[in-house]
Structure 1
Amino acid sequence: MAGINSSMGHPSQVTLKTAFTVCFAALAVVTLAVLLVKAQVALILTGIAALVAIALNHLVVLLMRARLKRNFAIGVVLAALLSTLTTVAVLVIPSAIAQGQALVEEAPTLADEVLASRFFKRIDARFHILEQLEKKGRNSTELASGALPPLLHAVSGVFSLVGALVTILFLVVFMLIFGPGLVRRAVALTLPERRERYERVLSKVYTATGGYLAGLTLICSINATLTTTFLAIIGVPFFLPLGIASGFSSMVPYAGPIVAGGTITLLTLATGGAWKGMAAFIYFILYGQLEGNVLAPLVFRRTVHINPLLTLLAVVCFVEMAGIVGALLAVPVVAAAQIIARELLLIRQERLSAQVRPP
């Protein structure tokens, strides 16, 4: 009894200040999580703008090495970018929209032709695709038309898309003008003995991200140009939107071109017959070898140094969280995380070696 009374007589180790601190920290974490969910669109736009600004800043630095002032170099780069986008919009977008509308109107008919083709029947005989769809209460016509409402909803949100593009443009301009100075001031506030390490990490992240974006732009351009040219040569009626879609599919590493190639091959089979479908199949096999063995290693191994399996897992996770934008942000984010993780491991190794070093 005496021991119990003595233990009950001691004051509690949990003070009111400690409880308040824990509650405030938990509330802050919950508030931050809610803000991140609510501000998802703003964060996505900011992330896209940051990637574009990093890519353009490499061009600005090249012009500055030619003894141009930074503000003038930024103006030249932005003017070149806007001129390129305007030229593409005038020459390509109207035809792509017209062919895209025709493709949407003929989508149910094309889907029926694909389902009636001998190639699909062989696949269905092996995997029973239609039987699984019928179990879910959806026939082939409903399957074809089910993709139309999201597409129409996307078309109706064209003004939101324009607003997002304008927002990204202003963010890119302000990041190019004020971003480097802001980063330098932030690094200058750190401890002097750690400043060099922070600068090295930021430099590696900047170089990896810029190299990745430059290589990805090159891959997408090559894919769109080659696919559009090939489809136009063999006479596919919707060659322009299909070629552009194939180019954008390269933004999703490894998996994107496979899905796009399979879809375009089926559409070619439905619109042009077996020989054109076979030609499209052979083309995407050959281009897949080119991108997988030449272009992709040039980008992912020499710039971001990420294992292909880790890249694919990151893309799958980020696509689930943020769609196509997540696929675009996956590789740079994982590359930055990998650089930071390597730096932390290096710090740990230095500390361990310092501990075992003899006096």
Structure 2
Amino acid sequence: MGSPSQVTLKTTFTVCFAVLAVVTLAVLIVKAEVALILTGLAALIAVALNHLVVLLMRLRMKRGPAITLVLSVLLFALVTVALWVIPSALTQVQALVEQAPGLVAEFRASRFFRWLDAHFHILQQLRRQDRSPSELASGALPPLLHAVTGAFSLAGAAVTVGFLVVFMLVFGPGLVRRMLSQALPERRARYERVLGKVYTATGGYLGGLSLICSINATLTTTFLAIIGMPYFLPLGIMSGFSSMIPYAGPIMAGGAITLLTLATGGLWKAMATFIYFILYGQLEGNVLAPLVFRRTVHVDPLLTLFAVVFFAELAGIIGAVLAVPLVAAAQIIVRELLLVRREKLGERVPPVP
């Protein structure tokens, strides 16, 4: 007779239930990807605004009026930007779209494009992908429908995020306190410390990132207006938003704007634009970014790039924006877990005499 099995029925059911739970969680994450992205974006905005609410509460203002004042100022700022900046930007964008075929033709006739085509055969690759006019006509309706549905989806997402932000500001702190009250007394202080570190790092990162985006948009818009770029306003705004993606965003925006300047303004303006983005890259990389990343989230630049690439593949541009706060929070949690492990090992291992 062999020895009885050491794997009990309870252990088997426990393992099966754990595997089923992991699979179910993975399926829910895949199915609810959009909801998770909107919730994460709303949480980041709520954390950033909550710092202002707490600041007003320190000035002896109650939380309700403080939330109302912060949301009112934010709404006023958004309406002001919508009335003053967006119409001019849309006008320039419309002009850019109308002149796009001519710009493409000018760029194809430039020496730079002829040099690229001679080495990489770009036109040959484009001709292979061309379709017949009938196919292009039949395929024109679906993109239009996608554009209309995309606009409604974007508006619905904005409204959803707005309501989530309001509810998180109003009910979020109470929910966190009730969840912490359910923890064991000896662990509650540790949980509060971890949440406090994540809250401080995330708020500092978002505040600094907003400052970097504003500086980028202001400087780029001013520079493009000085050199006489006809589409300086939308390009400057695009450059400002590119700073939301660390390191990679400004490089891609600078390259695109330089090529557009080459097609519209000539070689000398393109060279000036290239030099400007090189100098601004040094300013953002060596002065502005360290003030944000090293003093708030303390995330290594190489780890930041890996996180941006990974989350961009998972959730697109929003994933790239959320990458740094998520990695910073994960880093804080991992450090706390390692600290707990060292404390336990310190209790088990006798001290060296």
TM-score by length of 1: 0.88
Deviates more, 1:13-22 or 1:331-340: 13-22
Given the alignment of the two structures, is residue 244 of structure 1 paired with residue 233 of structure 2, yes or no? no
Question: Which residue among 103, 106, 111 is the counterpart of 1:118?
Answer: 111
| Amino acid of the structure 2 residue aligned with 1:166 | V
User: Which of residues 298, 311, 327 in structure 2 aligns to 1:334?
Assistant: 327
CA separation in 2, counterparts of 1:117 and 1:305? 45
The 1:205–1:225 alpha-carbon spacing in structure 2 relative to 1, beyond 3 Å, is same
Q: Which residue of 2 aligns with 1:356?
A: 350
Most deviating of 59-68 and 280-289: 280-289
Aligned to 1:214: 207
- Secondary structure in 1 matching 2:128: coil
The aligned counterpart of 2:66 is 73
Alpha-carbon distance in 2 for matches of 1:176, 1:70: 9
Quickly say closer, same or farther: Cα 1:151–1:323, change in 2 above 3 A: farther
Residues 339, 151 of structure 1: CA spacing in aligned structure 2 closer, same or farther, 3 A cutoff?
farther
Distance 2:64 2:304 in 1: 36
- CA-CA distance at 1:131 after TM superposition: 7.0
Matched residue, 2:125: 133
Q: What residue number does 2:54 align with?
A: 61
Structure 1 residues 153 and 267: alpha-carbon distance in aligned structure 2, compared to 1, 3 A threshold: farther
Change (3 A) 1:276 1:153: farther
Q: Output the CA distance in 1 between the equivalents of 2:350 and 2:91.
A: 71
Q: Offset at 1:76? A: 0.3
* Matches of 1:20 and 1:314, distance apart in 2: 36
Match of 2:188 in 1: 195
State the TM-score, normalized to the length of structure 2. 0.90
Superposition pairs of residues 91-102 of structure 1, within 5 angstroms: 91-102=84-95
Distance 1:101 1:285 in 2: 29
Once structures 1 and 2 are overlaid, which stretch shifts more, 322-331 or 235-244? Answer: 235-244
How far apart, in 1, do the equivalents of 2:148 and 2:269 lie?
31
Determine which of 99, 102, 107 is the counterpart of 2:100. Answer: 107
Question: Which residue does the alignment assign to 1:142?
Answer: none
The 1:151/1:80 distance shift into structure 2, 3 A limit, reads farther
Partner of 1:47: 40
Distance 1:230 1:197 in 2: 49
Q: Which amino acid aligns with 2:82?
A: A
C-alpha contact (below 8 Å) 2:204/2:292 kept by paired residues: yes
Are the equivalent residues in 1 in contact too, given 2:116–2:122 (CA < 8 A)?
Answer: no
RMSD: 2.4
Give the unaligned 5+ runs of structure 1.
1-5, 140-145
Over residues 51-78 of structure 1, what are the superposed CA-to-partner deviations in whole Å (9 max), with x where a residue is unaligned?
0000000000100010000011000000
2: CA distance, partners of 1:350 / 1:255: 39
User: Structure 1 residue 226: deviation in Å?
Assistant: 1.1
Indicate how the Cα distance of structure 1 residues 82 and 52 shifts in structure 2: closer, same or farther if over 3 A, else same. same
Q: CA offset at residue 16 of structure 1? A: 4.8
1:86 and 2:91 equivalent? Answer: no
Corresponding residue pairs, total: 343
Amino acid in the other structure paired with 1:137: R
Structure 1 residues 285-294 or 154-163, which shifts more?
A: 154-163
Q: Which residue of the other structure, out of 230, 242, 258, is the alignment partner of 1:265?
A: 258
Fraction of identical pairs, as percent: 74
- Per-residue CA deviations over 1:235-260 (Å, capped at 9, x if unaligned) read 21211111111111101111110110
Q: Which residue of 1 aligns with 2:246?
A: 253
1:163 shift after superposition: 1.1
Instruction: Report matched runs for 1:256-335 at 5 Å.
Output: 256-335=249-328
- Residues 1:344 and 1:210: Cα distance change in structure 2 (over 3 Å): same
Residue 166 of structure 2 corresponds to which residue in structure 1?
Answer: 173
Give, in whole Å, the separation in 1 of the partners of 2:148 and 2:216.
25
> CA offset at residue 350 of structure 1?
2.0
What's the secondary structure of 1:137's corresponding residue? Answer: helix
Offset of residue 334 of structure 1: 0.3
Q: CA deviation at 1:33?
A: 1.5
Q: 1:137 & 1:23 partners in 2: Cα distance?
A: 52
**Deviations, residues 312-332 of structure 1 (Å, cap 9, x unaligned):** 111011111101100111000
